[in-house]
Homo-oligomer: A and B are copies of this chain.
Amino acid sequence: MRWARFDDGGTARYAIVEGDNLSPVHGSPFGEWERAGAARRLAETKLLIPVVPPTFYACGLNYAEHIRAVAARVGQPANLPDKPDVGYRANNSLIAHGETIVIPADATDAVQYEAELVVVIGRQAKHLTRETALDCVLGYTIGNDVSERTWQKSDRTLWRAKNTDTFAPMGPWIETDVHLDSLVTRVRLNGREVISFATNHMLFGVVDFLVAMSRYCTLYPGDVLWMGTEGAAENMRHGDVCEIEIAGIGTLFNPVVREGMNR
């Protein structure tokens, strides 16, 4: 099942995606719901981010080739993490499918995509075991962890490198029926494929993180966990269009502009 969140005349509502249509509901996938109202054309509907997370977790370094690429760029040895230490991102940076990534006027050219699988928590959970961990997952969506590489290197934290407004596109929707091992992530820049990788070839998988995190932290409905990205990335420039496809989930599409330039 696919859950989208859309703008219904200024009110956020959930709907089930059925082919080219949306079937709106009262309620939400995080609680009670029932179908309500006429179907709408997906193509004519403004999608919103599929959830506003209470906590926005991000795995950071979680794919071997990406870690080697980052280390080479900053001139340091590549150290693979030996346990799943999760990090955080901020809600101000979230934008929806179709919305515009705005590069600040004073950013360098090194503003890059990072294609990520996003886990959406469906119900409150603590002390998960490997056997029960996935029971708390509602489904999966797609994230673009946009990163300004010079700030990532110069600042004490990742605050503006990764949390500048518009730097976290997420969507288009939440897919509940996913086979993690069969997923492939593909990134296209202006229609040209720039990378593809097996989505689940992570250093620490979804179960690893959920078990580790929930030992100390209660997970809540709507929390999201971004699973990291693979490989080296290219720069995104004013006028570009970035698409991230995870077959079986969908495609997250966002245009890119630089602040202060004509659109």
Residues of A within 8 A of B (CB): 52, 54-55, 57, 60-61, 81, 83, 85-93, 104, 126, 155-157, 159-160, 163-165, 213, 215-220
Q: If A55-B90, A55-B92, A93-B217 touch, does A60 touch B156 (CB 8 Å cutoff)?
A: yes
Q: Once bound together, how far apart are the Cα atoms of A93 and B217, in whole Å?
A: 7
Interface centre among A61, A83, A126, A160 (most CB of B within 10 A): A160
Q: Closest CB of chain B to A152's CB: distance in Å?
A: 11
What residues on B are CB-neighbors of A217 within 8 Å?
Answer: 90, 92-93, 159-160, 163-165
What residues on B are CB-neighbors of A57 within 8 Å?
Answer: 90
Determine whether the beta carbon of B92 is less than 8 Å from that of A218: yes
Name which residue of chain B comes closest to A104, CB basis. Answer: B216
Q: What are 20 of the A-B contact pairs (CB < 8 Å)?
A: A52-B54, A54-B91, A55-B90, A55-B92, A57-B90, A83-B155, A85-B155, A85-B156, A85-B157, A86-B157, A87-B157, A88-B157, A88-B163, A91-B220, A92-B218, A92-B219, A104-B215, A126-B165, A160-B217, A165-B218
The 3 nearest A-B residue pairs measured at CB:
A85-B156, A164-B216, A88-B88
Determine whether the beta carbon of B216 is less than 8 Å from that of A160: yes
